[in-house]
Structure 1
C-alpha cells in the first residue's frame, strides 16, 4: 500500500517536496491557506499587468533541470528560460554604472572602464571564489546537517578555516578590490537573503560568484511565477492533490509521531507531514510546543529575522527604456544605508533599491505599449518601531520622487496600476515572522546545523522545508532542501522511496554560453 504525505503550504519548497514524493509512488495532498499557490513565488495581477510577488532573478538553472529530469520530464516542455546579457546594471550615486556580466571578456572590459587598477585583484578574487563555491555547495548546501557530527567533520572545518569563511563578505572582498563601487557590486547580493554584507559571513559571496561564473542570470518567460505554474501542472499530472484556500489548523502528533494534519476540524491522516510554511510562525501555530522542546516558543521568539522589503508594483501607460531588465540603484553611503536597515532600524533617507523591468524582454507581462515596474527597497523588519499605517504613504511618495530622479520621468502622471507591500503585508499574507521577507537571518549561528532542521529531532515523520530552514533562502536553494528531504526520508521509510538516490545524468551543460566558469578554467590552469 502506498504511503501518504500531507504537505503544509504550496510554496516552492512544499511543491518540490510533493513532486519528489509522487515520483516514489506516494499519495500526496498539498494544503494551501491562500487561493493561489506559490508563497513568495507568487503573482500580483491587475489592469492587464503581471508582477512577480517576490523573487525575480533566476540563478542555478541546473537545479531546475535536475528536478524535471528526475521526474522524467523535459524542462523545455514547461518553462522557457532565457540567459540575460548583461546580468543586470548597477547604478552608482556618482553617475557611473557597471554592467555585470557572465562573459569574461566583457566583464574585464567593464572592470577596466570602472576601476582599472582592480582588474588583477578581480581575477584573483574569482580564483579564490571558485574554491569557496565548491565547498559551500557540496559540503554544506547539499548536505542534510542533521547532526553536529556533519558540521564538525575536521575536513570541512579545515576548508572553512582555510577559505576565511568566518570573516564578513565586505572584508573578504576588500582583500582583493580597492574601489568602493566594485566592493559593493560584489557583495550587495547578500540582500537577496536579507542580511547585511558588512556582517554576513564571507561564504555568502558565492551568490555573486554564481551570477558571474557558474551559469549566470536567467529570465523565465512570463515571470518567475511561471515556475510555480509549472510545478502545479506537474503535481496534477502526477496525481497529487492541491487544496487551495484550505488552511491547516494543527499538525497532529501521537506517541512522538506525526500522524496527519487537522483541516476544518477533521484529521487528515498521513504517514509523513512536511511543513512548507515559513518555520518560525508555522512551528508555533501548527506544532504543539510539547512536541518541539528544541524549538520552544521562547527560543523561536529569540531567533533573529532577516530584513523586510517595501515593495511597489507599478503599472504605467508608457515604456521606460533607459534602464536594463534588472537594475540596482545604490545610495551615496551604502554602508550608512545598511546601518539604517539592520542596526539603527529606521527608514533610510537615502535608500538603495532594485528595479525590475521584465517587459523589456517579455511582452506577456504588460499590455501593448505599457510597462510594469517592480521596485524593492530593503527596510527594517517589524522589530523596528515603525508604524507602517502612517509611514506607508510618505515613504511611497518619497520613492516615486526618487524613481523620477533616476530616469522614470513623470512617473506619477503615467500610473495606471499600483500595489504596495510593507512588512505588515508580508506577515499577514504569508505568515512571515516580524514581516521578514527573507525568513530567518542566515547569520553564522543561524546557518547549517544551527538553522532549523529539515527533519524534526523530536517528532518522527515530521519535516520542514523553506527559506528559514537549512540550507537557506533562494528558490534553487529551497529546491535543493526538498531533494535532501527525499534522501532523508528514504532512510526513515526503508523501501518506500526507491528513487531517492536516482537522478538523471542526461542534463544540459552550460558550454554553449561564454561564462566565466569556462573561460576561467583556462585562466586558473595558467596560474
Structure 2
C-alpha cells in the first residue's frame, strides 16, 4: 500500500484525497488551520453565519463527481439550490440589471438598456457555449505533468479556437455597446483574479456557466461542501492532522521521502501532493538547491492575482432588498484595475460586491449576513478602517442601513489571506491570468524537479475557481493512480 501525504486540506486536496483513499491508498492530509476547505471557510459571529468563500457556486456536478465510486453520494449530505435570477447589478445612475438564466428575461431588460445587445444576445450565448465546450473537452480533464501535455496536438488545436489573442473587454464590446453592460460581463475576469482589459477572451466562457448552466448555492451554506468531503474522507479511513504546518520537504536524489513540520515531527511518505499556492509552497518547502533553474527570484516574477478587502457585516434586521448577489459598479471600471495592478492601491471608486446568502436561505443566519468584497491589490493596505467607513458611507447612500443596523463585523485584507492561507503576496488566486502565458501555461500539476511531487490548487492547471480546483485535485489523483495502479484492501 502506498502512503501519500497531501499538504493542505483545501478543495483540491480533499478531492484528491478522497479519490486516492477510495482506490486503496493510505492518505494523510496535513493542514495548518483548524478547518477543512481552505478558503471555503465558515465564519461565525454569534448567531451570524458567513461563507468566507467561494460565494458563487457553478458546475455542481464537479463536486458530485468527487464521491463517484466511493459508496457515498453528495446529495445525501447537501442540497444545491439554483439561483435563476442570480445577480442584481446596479449602475452609477441607479439602473438595475438582473442577470437571469432565462433568455427572455435578459432580452427584455437589454431591449430597454441596449437594443443592439438584445438583438445579438442569442449569438452571445452560442459563442460562450462554444468557448466552454472546447475548454471542457480540451483543458479541464487531465493533469499537466510535463511539457508534452502542453504540446498535445488536440490541446494546441483547441487553444487556437478559444480566442486566446483577444481581450475579454474587446470580446464583450462586440455584443454589448452600453458601457455599464460591458462592466457586468467584464467582471468575469475578476473570477480568476485578473483584469478584463488584459485577460484573454477565453474566459467569456464563465458567462455560459452563469447565464445558461446556472449559479447555485448550498442550503445551509456553501461550506457544507467542504464539511461533506471531510466526513467522507474520514469514513474512508483517511487521516487529517490539523494545526500542523509543513516546514520543509525532505528530498534526496530528486525524490521527496518525507517532510518535517514546525513542531519538529518528521513524516515519511511515498508520494506528496501540495495543495496550496504554487509560488509560496515551492519557495517555503523546497530548498533552491532541489529546484535548479527555479530560484526564488524567478518565482517572484509572477504577477499576483487580485486580492480582496472583505467586510463581514451582520445586520440585525433582514434586508429584503439586498439580493443574494448584488453589485454596485463605479463610473470608471478601467481605472479600478489601474489602481489595483498599476498603482497597487485600493480603488478610489470601487466595484462593491455583496453576497447575502440569507436572501435565499433565511435559516443560514440571523438578520442579514453581508459579505462585502472590494477588489484589492495583492499588497499591504494601510488605514483599512477609514476605507471601511468610506465603503459604509457609499452603501448608505445606496439605501443600505449599514451602521444603523450593524451588530457585528470582521475585516479581512490581503495580509489576512497571506497569513491564513500562505497566499502569494496575499492574492486570492495566486497567479493572475493577465498574460496569455499565465492564463494558458499555468504551473503544471507535477514537479519538474522532484519525481514524486504533485501540485493541486487554483494557482496550477486548470486554474482558479472552486470547480477548477476540484478538477485539479481529481486530475492529480488520476495521474498518480495511472502511474502506480490502484491498491485494493482485502
State the shift of 1:294 in Å: 4.4
Task: State the Cα deviation string for residues 41-94 of structure 1 (Å, max 9, x = none).
Answer: 111111211111121101011101222234232221111110012021111111
1:496 to 482, 486, 490: 486
Contact 1:16 1:231 in 2 (8 A): yes
Asked if 1:403 is matched to 2:395, the reply is yes
> Per the alignment, in what secondary structure is the counterpart of residue 175 of structure 2?
coil
Q: 1:230 to 1:145 in 2, by over 3 A?
A: same
Q: Which residue of 2 aligns with 1:274?
A: 273
Contact 2:114 2:176 in 1 (8 A): no
State the shift of 1:155 in Å: 4.5
Contact 2:135 2:158 in 1 (8 A): no
Distance (Å, rounded) in 1 between the aligned partners of 2:344 and 2:207: 26
> Per the alignment, in what secondary structure is the counterpart of residue 71 of structure 2?
coil
**TM-score, normalised via structure 2 length:** 0.95
Asked if 1:418 is matched to 2:406, the reply is no
Q: Which residue of 1 aligns with 2:34?
A: 35
Distance (Å, rounded) in 1 between the aligned partners of 2:128 and 2:356: 30
Distance (Å, rounded) in 2 between the aligned partners of 1:26 and 1:294: 33
Contact 1:327 1:355 in 2 (8 A): yes
Asked if 1:483 is matched to 2:474, the reply is yes
Contact 1:40 1:53 in 2 (8 A): yes
Q: Which residue of 2 aligns with 1:240?
A: 238
Distance (Å, rounded) in 2 between the aligned partners of 1:265 and 1:53: 31
Contact 1:447 1:470 in 2 (8 A): no
Distance (Å, rounded) in 2 between the aligned partners of 1:468 and 1:227: 21
Q: Which residue of 2 aligns with 1:101?
A: 100
Distance (Å, rounded) in 1 between the aligned partners of 2:172 and 2:264: 54
Greater shift after overlay, 259-268 or 413-422? 259-268
Asked if 1:173 is matched to 2:164, the reply is no
Q: Which residue of 2 aligns with 1:80?
A: 79
Contact 1:447 1:471 in 2 (8 A): no
> Per the alignment, in what secondary structure is the counterpart of residue 249 of structure 1?
strand
Contact 1:6 1:272 in 2 (8 A): yes
Distance (Å, rounded) in 2 between the aligned partners of 1:153 and 1:395: 48
Contact 1:6 1:261 in 2 (8 A): no
Distance (Å, rounded) in 1 between the aligned partners of 2:162 and 2:188: 19
Q: 1:117 to 1:397 in 2, by over 3 A?
A: same
Distance (Å, rounded) in 1 between the aligned partners of 2:398 and 2:357: 18
> Per the alignment, in what secondary structure is the counterpart of residue 249 of structure 2?
strand
Task: State the Cα deviation string for residues 132-168 of structure 1 (Å, max 9, x = none).
Answer: 1112221112232333333344454344334432210
Report the RMSD for the aligned CA atoms in angstroms.
1.8
Contact 1:69 1:75 in 2 (8 A): no
Q: 1:205 to 1:259 in 2, by over 3 A?
A: same
Q: Which residue of 2 aligns with 1:371?
A: 368
Report matched runs for 1:243-258 at 5 Å. 243-258=241-256
Distance (Å, rounded) in 1 between the aligned partners of 2:334 and 2:69: 43
Contact 2:146 2:448 in 1 (8 A): no
**TM-score, normalised via structure 1 length:** 0.89
State the shift of 1:36 in Å: 1.8
